[in-house]
Amino acid sequence: MSAFQQYDVDNDSESSEQQPWIDWYCTLKGNEFFVRVEESFIVDSFNLTGLDSQFRYYNWALDTILDQTQRDKIPQDQLETVEEEAEQLFGLIHSRYVITQRGLEAVAQKYKRHHLGRCPRVLCNGQATLPVGLTPMLGLESVRLYCPRCDDIYASKSSRHIHIDGAFFGPTLPHLFLLAFPEHKPEPLNARYVPRVFGFRLHQHAYTQSYKYKLVAERIESKTTMLQTQLKQLTLSQGNTSADTVKQVIQDQTEEYKKLTALYLNLHQDTLELHSETLHHTPSTHHTNQMSIDYPSSSSEAEEEDEDDEEEVTPMYLDVDLNKVR
């Protein structure tokens, strides 16, 4: 059933007067983020500047929004297109309305009641969000949720919002809203999640080190397999191979294996040093069940922690050239 058909059904079931199209559209499931746009804003042609060139059936779409359309005059083969353009036109008008003073006030009412979603991030504790579009262009991105506490954007949990175009809200709305109502801007988030293994904080280079460690180990295993294969082939062909040749091949492969072993041990030593450095920055007593969240007690403490982190960021370069292992 199309939106127009649903609109007709809803109004036929109403015992009172016909429900305005704008009110009906804003109450549809999935359209919770929309605010009611005043008709006085829509009838002002200045507010619609440039929109007429974006739609083929602009006049019919606008009349539909304002409940001025005579449905029987729209050809049946064009009705679905007019319906789609009416929704898109209203969305673009909505994006302009919500950045006006009255539009921001309407958004504030929904924001206070948490009708615009909540941040899915655990440490934000259900912070109220604001709808935002990544681009003002139609048909490129769905609406996203902006969290003013962690300053990040998220996709809505509701599958209905996937079909709501982000251009219906625009990239300006949440930030202009917080400038107009700075009292709704929450305190910045100081708490952050800290990865730990058995209670110990992971060094920031731990994953890179682990990857290099694994890469060298895999190459050593590959070289070892190749050495065993060559030795086996030489053993089977001893009758056609001189003793000096066999001896030379064995010496060459033995030297190669020694280099790989030294490479492995060197990397292993660097890993131990990295582990020691990690323990150096970790309290001597630890609990495996402690929470992996840091809460700086003050801004000065947070700054000191940032300075400590900067000291830990000193790059560690391995004395290993992986390109030489072939």
CATH of the domain at 51: 1.10.1820.10
The answer on 175 and 207 residing in a single domain is: no
SS3 state of residue 294: strand
Which range, 74-83, 270-279, 283-292, is most confident?
74-83
> Could you tell me the pLDDT band of residue 192, with boundaries at 50, 70 and 90?
confident
What pLDDT, on the 0 to 100 scale, is given for residue 325? 43
pLDDT band of residue 1 (cuts 50, 70, 90) is very low
Helix (H, G, I), strand (E, B) or coil at 315: coil
Residue 143 and residue 49 in one domain = no
Instruction: Indicate if 241 and 172 belong to the same structural domain.
Output: no
Q: Does 303 or 181 have the greater pLDDT score?
A: 181
pLDDT tens for each residue of 101-117: 999 999 999 999 999 99
Residues 13 and 34 in one domain: yes
Q: Are residues 91 and 12 in the same domain?
A: yes
Clarify whether residues 207 and 296 are in a common domain.
yes
Which range among 82-91, 233-242, 258-267 shows the weakest confidence by mean pLDDT? 233-242
User: pTM score, two decimals?
Assistant: 0.68
- Asked if residue 23 and residue 125 are part of one domain, the reply reads no
pLDDT at 135 over 80: yes
108/163 same-domain check: yes
pLDDT at 144: 96
Q: d(Cα 154, Cα 28) in Å, to the nearest integer?
A: 22
Q: Which of 124, 156, 189 is the last residue of a domain?
A: 189
Give me the CATH number covering residue 170: 2.20.25.20
Quote the domain boundaries for residue 314.
Answer: 196-324
Single residue among 142, 169, 189 that ends a domain in this structure = 189
Q: Which residue has the higher pLDDT, 150 or 277?
A: 150
State the pLDDT at residue 171: 95
Q: What is the pLDDT of residues 20-32, one digit of tens each?
A: 899 999 999 989 9
If asked whether residues 180 and 206 sit together in one domain, one would say no
Residues 210 and 318 in one domain: yes
The residue assigned the tokens 């290993």 is: 320
Q: Which residue has the higher pLDDT, 72 or 49?
A: 49
* Total number of domains in the chain: 3
When the pLDDT of each residue in the chain is averaged and rounded to a whole number, the result is 77
Which of 97, 117, 146 is the C-terminal boundary of a domain?
97
Please tell me whether residues 184 and 202 are part of one structural domain. Answer: no
Same domain? 220 vs 180: no
More confident: 212 or 285: 212
